[in-house]
Chains A and B, each alone.
Chain A
Amino acid sequence: MFYHHLRNELWKLFGKKRTYIGFGAFLLAQNAMLLTFRFTHWQRDMERMLAGNGYMAQEFVSALTVALVMLIPQVLLLMPLYAALVGGDLVAKEAEDGTLRMILSRPISRFRLLAVKWLAGLIFSAVLVSVLGATALGFARIWFPWRGMFVFAPGMVFNVLPATEGLKLYLCSHLFMTLNASVILSLGFMFSCFNMKPAAATILALSFLFLNLVMEGIPFFERYQEYLLPYHFRIWLYIYSHPTPWERLTQSLCVLLAFNLTTFLVGMAAFQARDIKS
């Protein structure tokens, strides 16, 4: 039964045109990034940085390096927007459209309904991140050779890796990116369990993230960084550090998983208590 319900949710999620419009937007943005990198001084700046640090630029300006460069702004901007949008829709859109009332005239418990919806959301996050990663690498490979990987994120990571190791870490970082996407989606999902419009749930989720980001930038909150989400979202980049900061990764992993679970439980409690009316 659970499998059937989950399959239904995935049908609903992936049956919408809007889902693919979002993916389309990502592809366009990726190509824009790729062309900007290729045809502006961006590529030359990177080559200069590598040379300045004693590395052969040609060895590291590769498909893997450029794919990661393409991913950074998307992970910061587009992914939160899209994940919050989908999360905010999961329950609130059905309530708004009236289909939730149709479902809840059936003998399914609210807990199970929410659990399958949330799980479908997590699967969506994984698909989204996987597609993002695969297309970024695919597009980058068209223009750049398959060589070593150079990772640079100011104040966080500076590392060069052989292609095989780079690919392994590239795949591994996608697991963490999936977790980030699922946290944002769960946040939108939590708000959408309350009695509100889908857009309101999305806006609240994005506002929460924005508030975290703003607070992180204020010097007063520097000592409280560990309580803010962006600090933990960065683990997907820290995975490229050498040596790997396992303690930091484990801490953030636990915080993000706990945050996910908390949002689900809060959403569940709100949904359980509310009346579903037309």
Chain B
Amino acid sequence: MIQLKDLRKEFGRRTAVENLNLSVPAGEIYGLLGHNGAGKSTAIGMMLGQVWPTRGEVRVCGHDVTAHRRRALEKVGAIFESPAFYDYLSGRRNLEILSSYTAPTPRKRIQEVIQWVGLTGREDSKVRTYSHGMRARLALAQALLPQPELLILDEPSDGLDPEGIHEMRHTILRLHRELGLTILLSSHFLNEVEQLCSRIAVLNQGRMVFEGTLADTKQREKWVRLKVGDFTSAVRELREAKLITGERDGQFVALEPNAGTDQVVRLLVGKGMPVYEIALAEETLERFYLTLMNEQKEGK
């Protein structure tokens, strides 16, 4: 659905995106992660033909965005953080205006989408009277009007209250399930990405530092919770035996890829160290992300 090939974008001397290669298959909910300024919005801008790439190729729905923007975006809907509307016009008028840039949309279709996003009854009020949550729903409505096959969501939950975030998350899942849309989601909320996405890419300073499934993030390092009498000594012994690669929080150790918990227990008990508890720890996306970023900082 989306293919980025050797994509690079420079703003003056600053490189915002560097050699980005990405492929979003149809039917996926794909997460784009990274801190502020990592290049996520620039990458999305290039996918939508708003930002011109310095080098490389962007293909959306099979068409080159730079050369055939119109064809590439025909079946694409997009939502940005803090969606902007013509506040002095009604919600319905905003939808009419925005959808007409794709194709004139029948009134019936607009009403259907208004109903789908739950704005019925408020569609003729001026947008300036809308709450943040209602604006988010209106943003979703405008993205759905062209009957898209691909939705690009750039920080869609930004600025929403917890209830709004929850609602947005459910809506995204509903869109994926009921309409079968491919979704590219850029977000700061790691738990949101964890709950929604099947595949992620992590950007750091314009470069992609990880790409894979959520399962990959969990298997990248095998963390084990270890309860022993003297954690420091146990770690020293395990390091010497080359069974672990790291430790954290005074209770977790990262196993070497070929090491097992049985070997750990055997070694520690053999050294006369009682093991009270040992269990594989569930790796969270947050932990994975922070580890990855620390590795980048340390230049690993």
Please report A residues at the B interface, Cβ cutoff 8 Å: 1, 4-5, 8, 11-12, 15-17, 97-99, 101-109, 113, 273, 275-278
Is residue B174 within 8 Å, beta carbon to beta carbon, of the partner chain? no
> B48's closest neighbor in chain A, by CB?
A105
Q: Which residue of chain B lies nearest to A113 when distances are taken between CB atoms in the complex?
A: B101
Q: Knowing A5-B101, A12-B89, A102-B98 touch, does A107 contact B72 (C-beta < 8 A)?
A: yes
Indicate which residue in B89, B100, B142 contacts A5 across the interface (CB closer than 8 Å). B100
With contacts A12-B97, A105-B73, A106-B73 known, is A99 near B86, CB below 8 A? yes
- Verify if B211 is at the interface (C-beta below 8 Å from A): no
Complex Cα spacing A16 to B93, Å = 13
| Contact partners of A98 in chain B: CB under 8 A | 80, 82-84
Instruction: State whether the Cβ of B116 lies closer than 8 Å to any Cβ in chain A.
Output: no
B88 at the interface (CB under 8 A from A): yes
Chain A-chain B contacts (Cβ-Cβ < 8 Å), number:
91
Residues of chain B with a CB closer than 8 A to A12's CB: 86, 89, 97
Query: CB distance A15 to B52 under 8 Å?
Result: no
Q: How many Å from the CB of B232 to the closest CB on chain A?
A: 49
Residues of B within 8 A of A275 (CB): 11, 45, 50-52
Q: A108 to B51, Cβ gap below 8 A?
A: no
B247 within 8 A of A: no
User: Considering the complex, which residues of chain B in the window 76-132 have a beta carbon less than 8 Å from any beta carbon of chain A?
Assistant: 76-78, 80-86, 88-89, 93, 96-98, 100-104
CB pair A107–B82 under 8 Å, yes or no, is no
Bound Cα distance A105, B99 (Å)? 11
Residues of chain B contacted by A102 (CB below 8 angstroms):
78, 80, 83-85, 98, 142
Residue B242, interface by CB 8 Å: no
Residue in B closest to A105 when the chains form the complex, CB atoms: B78
Residues of B within 8 A of A11 (CB): 89, 93, 97
Q: Are B104 and A1 in contact (CB under 8 A)?
A: yes
11 A-B Cβ contacts within 8 A?
A: A8-B96, A8-B100, A15-B89, A15-B93, A105-B48, A106-B73, A106-B146, A107-B70, A107-B74, A108-B70, A277-B51
